[in-house]
Amino acid sequence: MTAFSYQLYSSRNFPPLSDTLKMLAELGYAQAEGFGGIYGDDAALAELERGLKANGLAMPTGHFSFDMCRDNSARVLGIAKAIGMKGVIVPYIMPDQRPKDAAGWRDYGASLAKVGQPYWDAGLFFGYHNHDFEFVPTATGELPIDLILGADDRLVLEFDVAWAVRAKADPLDTIRKYGSRIRAAHVKDIAPAGENKDEDGWADIGDGIVDWKAIMPALREAGCEYFVVEHDNPKDHHRFASRSIAAARKL
């Protein structure tokens, strides 16, 4: 049976963290994925370590900003070692920092690969998590996601399937193209058109339009190791977490 992880960003609006970790363990999650400020200072990191250990949860993957990975690799590596992470993922590019053309995306991919070297040297996998804009063709018809990943075969993809679907991409094409380079995937769902506007149009797993019955087996066959349940803005994180793991276990 697949051991599901949970992106803690989904519960950022429902403190405290200790209660969230307890909830995840009770619902049967085996792992959690960290993000940004959740690592915070040494006190926050210690709290996170205690919470994971107390609830029998692992944290094999974590999101860290490009700038932090570039400018403070010692800190990132220290966090990864303390938590027992296997991989470090850069999750996002702010709109004002996004390249404007194909050449810019190639350069970004090259910069990402350069930043990744200390993490590869430490035996971690390192790569990028997509949203929708990486699947919007440039003026030359190339996809930013291809230009990023084309910079270095060691860069992995944490494939956020639902964001790709929002960009009208076919997730199965991406899975076929990148295969085992997809080390992790975000398992999330999109509400039918016009629904769940108060949750930014996202849905609990199984209640939306994403064809997970076809996508999940394809990810497994490709060698994806980590399946991270996520909702960008749930009104009730317990409802989302409980319904989603129940649905995901049936896939």
Write out pLDDT tens, residues 73-87.
Answer: 999 999 999 999 999
Characterize the bridge pairing of strands 61-63 and 182-187: unpaired
Percent of the chain with pLDDT over 90: 97
161 near 186, Cβ under 8 Å? yes
Asked if pLDDT for residue 40 goes beyond 90, the answer is no
Percent of the chain with pLDDT over 70: 100
Q: Given pLDDT bands bounded at 50, 70 and 90, which one contains residue 1?
A: confident
| Cα separation, 50 vs 5, whole angstroms | 18
Characterize the bridge pairing of strands 156-160 and 125-129: parallel
Please, what is the average pLDDT of the chain? 97
User: In the sheet that 125-129 helps form, which strands lie side by side, from edge to edge?
Assistant: 4-6, 226-229, 182-187, 156-160, 125-129, 87-90, 61-63
List, as one string, the DSSP characters of 6-60: EBGGGGTTS--HHHHHHHHHHHT--B-BB-GGGS-SHHHHHHHHHHHHHTT-B--
Nearest to 99 by CA among 88, 110, 113, 89: 110
Task: Go through the domains of the chain in sequence order and give each one's CATH number.
Answer: 4-248 (3.20.20.150)
In the block, tokens 């964001």 appear at 163
Helices (H), 55-101: 66-71, 73-83
Give residue 37's pLDDT.
80
Lowest mean pLDDT among 43-47, 122-126, 138-142, 226-230: 43-47
Residue-wise pLDDT for 44-64, tens only, equals: 999 999 999 999 999 999 999
Nearest to 76 by CA among 122, 29, 18, 145: 122
Percentages (nearest 5) of helix, strand, coil residues in the chain: 50, 15, 35
Residue-wise pLDDT for 202-240, tens only, equals: 999 999 999 999 999 999 999 999 999 999 999 999 999
Tokens of 92: 């996002």
Characterize the bridge pairing of strands 156-160 and 226-229: unpaired
Whether the model clears a pTM of 0.95, i.e. scores above it, the answer is yes
Give residue 70's pLDDT.
98
Residue-wise pLDDT for 16-28, tens only, equals: 999 999 999 999 9
Tokens of 55: 């609830």
